[in-house]
Amino acid sequence: MTTVCVNNIFKCFGNKEVLKGINIVFEEGKVYGLFGKNGAGKSTLLKIILGLLLPTQGSVSVFGKNPRDGGLKEVSYLSENLAGYFDLNAYDNIDIIAKMQGVKLRKEEIFKILESVNLKEVASKKVKDFSLGMKRRLQLAFAFCIGDKKLFILDEPTNGLDIEGVFWFKEKIKEVKEKKDKTIIISTHAFEELENVIDEFIIIHKGEIKKKSDVCDLEIKNKKFVKVSNKDTEKFTKLVDLLKLNYTRVANTEFIVEENEKINLLEQIVVNGIKLQRFETYRETIKSVFKAVTKE
């Protein structure tokens, strides 16, 4: 089932075109990672999905409705900018945010929530005196522990968190995902941290989607990483051209080669007397795909 549908979104701020024809469908039960360099347009896209910004062109539907027209009742949003009532303590923050959402929490339930994000000991401390990581933990409590939401839109959720906090976050994502009817969209720079909790990743570069792929697809690709000696690079490129292999040159002497048609590349390297410094299976990661598609 489709949770969010983004149709041909363009967004300009003055003369600056920040989003250039974005089309994406987010499906129920999946965790999506939205990756992009600083200023790529991730937060702008999330704000348009949430109806906080209007697109210059195009449309968005959330659970089949316009986000400004009742589509957001079941949405949990964690903003990249820390939100909350900083002059109040952590306990009162949870209490107020819950009440605003029509959720009545008992005293012990509030303490349980604070305990789950490791803030019970500082329940009566004013949030303005919290560290960045503590404030982020409070945001995570707002996002995950109040009410029963179906769509989670999380902008830089691990920013400022320590290792324990990142672990908590990943466990929470797994827990939410197990319920099957949830959709989670995470905008982040933390590829490595989150690679194993994401189902699909979307790379946005200069306002355009450059890649959308299933994380599982990264593992099945059969690629080889080859490092040849400096003198043999010309010989090697000639060989891969002759064998019609797709290759990416990652450094002067380093290549990533797709092994097509079961050609035994290694045998050919030996036959042609090319000096190898490394030859190993190469596993593509979100980071490596990101580097390749955002290369200027």
Ligand X SMILES: Nc1ncnc2c1ncn2[C@@H]1O[C@H](COP(=O)(O)OP(=O)(O)OP(=O)(O)O)[C@@H](O)[C@H]1O
Other Cβ atoms closer than 10 A to 169: 25
For ligand X, the binding residue among 44, 79, 139, 183 (CB under 6 A) is 44
For ligand X, the binding residue among 9, 31, 40, 138 (CB under 6 A) is 40
Whole-angstrom distance, CA of residue 127 vs CA of residue 27? 35
**Closer by beta carbon to ligand X, 90 or else 286:** 286
**Closer by beta carbon to ligand X, 89 or else 139:** 139
Q: 82: buried, middle or exposed (CB in 10 Å: 19+, 13-18, 0-12)? A: middle
Other Cβ atoms closer than 10 A to 138: 24
Closest alpha carbon to 126 in 168, 161, 84 = 84
Q: How far is the CB of 67 from ligand X (least distance, A)?
A: 17
- What is the total count of residues that contact ligand X (CB under 6 A)? 11
**39 contacts ligand X (rule: CB under 6 A):** yes
Q: How far is the CB of 35 from ligand X (least distance, A)?
A: 9
**55 contacts ligand X (rule: CB under 6 A):** no
Q: How far is the CB of 50 from ligand X (least distance, A)?
A: 13
**18 contacts ligand X (rule: CB under 6 A):** yes
Q: How far is the CB of 191 from ligand X (least distance, A)?
A: 13
**84 contacts ligand X (rule: CB under 6 A):** no
The contacts of residue 293 (CB under 8 Å, 6+ apart) are 203, 205, 210, 211
Residue type (1 letter), 68: R
Q: Report the DSSP beta bridge partners of residue 25.
A: 5
**41 contacts ligand X (rule: CB under 6 A):** yes
Stretch that binds ligand X, among 32-40, 112-120, 161-169, 248-256 (CB under 6 A): 32-40
Contact yes or no for 50/153 (Cβ under 8 A): yes
Q: Would you tell me which residues interact with ligand X (CB under 6 A)? A: 13, 18, 36, 38-44, 80
